[in-house]
């Protein structure tokens, strides 16, 4: 069942906390777009534009992409018609500067913004990320520990080989987590005193966590 929610949602948390998975559920339930900066950046990198080549270099090294480039990409995406009734941001903002830029942008539409902070221990995050695999042909996601393919290394859907993305290798993951704690974690302090800030324990099944998020958003609507 699709329910409409005239709101913006920001998902915060370390890489591998399940933000992308939960965003897809919320997208279907509330009929608003899921905007993943990771996907936007990978799309830009694949097109090999001037900005895309810069983005690719930062991603492969596990470094944060400069605020100016990120804000430019987000500004263009939020201007599209499908964002008029709200949207879900996954992977943005990642710095205080980006958050302030977003605040100014969202002040114009008057919709409430819910910030959902999903927490998971570092050891579990590393396990989740290093286990991720994707079919380069059809795009289906797998995890060696939680959602393995029927035949090792082969996609269940199209039979093509599965790959591990460069940013899911252990060296890059450790850099991503270090970057998160040094910079992105400050966003929790920035947002946590706001009316619609919620912290969720990301340990549990996908459905259990989803129920928590849906309940919090329903409570937000009634506030």
φ/ψ of 56, rounded to 5, equals -60, -40
Please pick, among 27, 56, 133, 176, the residue that the annotation labels catalytic.
176
Please pick, among 56, 128, 132, 133, the residue that the annotation labels catalytic.
132
Please pick, among 27, 56, 94, 128, the residue that the annotation labels catalytic.
94
Catalytic-residue membership of 192: no
Catalytic-residue membership of 84: no
Please pick, among 122, 165, 175, 203, the residue that the annotation labels catalytic.
165
Count other Cβ atoms within 10 Å, centred on residue 91: 23
Helix extents (H) in 93-145: 96-106, 122-130
Q: Could you tell me the sign of the dihedral formed by the alpha carbons of 83, 88, 94, 99, in that order?
A: positive
Catalytic-residue membership of 19: yes
> 33 with 88: CB under 8 angstroms?
yes
The partner residues of 90 in beta bridges, in order of sequence, read 11, 36
Count other Cβ atoms within 10 Å, centred on residue 222: 5
φ/ψ of 217, rounded to 5, equals -70, -35
Q: How far apart, in Å, are the Cα atoms of 143 and each of 114, 130, 179?
A: 29, 8, 24
Count other Cβ atoms within 10 Å, centred on residue 21: 13
> 95 with 184: CB under 8 angstroms?
yes
Catalytic center residues = 19, 94, 132, 165, 176
């Amino acid at each position: 069942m699709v329910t409409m929610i005239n709101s913006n949602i920001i998902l915060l948390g370390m890489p591998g906390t399940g933000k992308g998975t939960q965003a897809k559920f919320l997208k279907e339930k509330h009929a608003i777009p899921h905007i993943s900066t990771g996907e936007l950046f990978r799309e830009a990198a694949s097109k090999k534009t001037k900005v895309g080549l810069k983005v690719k270099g930062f991603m492969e090294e596990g470094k944060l992409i400069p605020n100016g480039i990120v804000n430019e990409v987000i500004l263009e995406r939020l201007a599209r018609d499908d964002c008029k009734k709200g949207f879900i941001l996954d992977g943005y903002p990642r710095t205080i500067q980006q958050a302030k830029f977003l605040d100014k942008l969202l002040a114009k539409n008057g919709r409430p913004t819910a910030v959902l902070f999903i927490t998971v221990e570092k050891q579990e995050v590393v396990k989740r990320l290093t286990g991720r695999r994707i079919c380069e042909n059809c795009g289906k996601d797998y995890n060696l520990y939680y959602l393995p393919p029927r035949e090792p290394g082969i996609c269940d859907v199209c039979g093509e080989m599965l790959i591990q993305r460069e940013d899911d290798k252990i060296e890059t993951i450790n850099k991503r987590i270090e970057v998160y704690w040094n910079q992105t974690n400050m966003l929790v302090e920035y947002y946590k005193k706001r009316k619609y800030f919620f912290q969720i324990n990301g340990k549990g099944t996908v459905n259990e966590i989803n129920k928590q998020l849906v309940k919090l958003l329903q409570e937000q609507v009634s506030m």
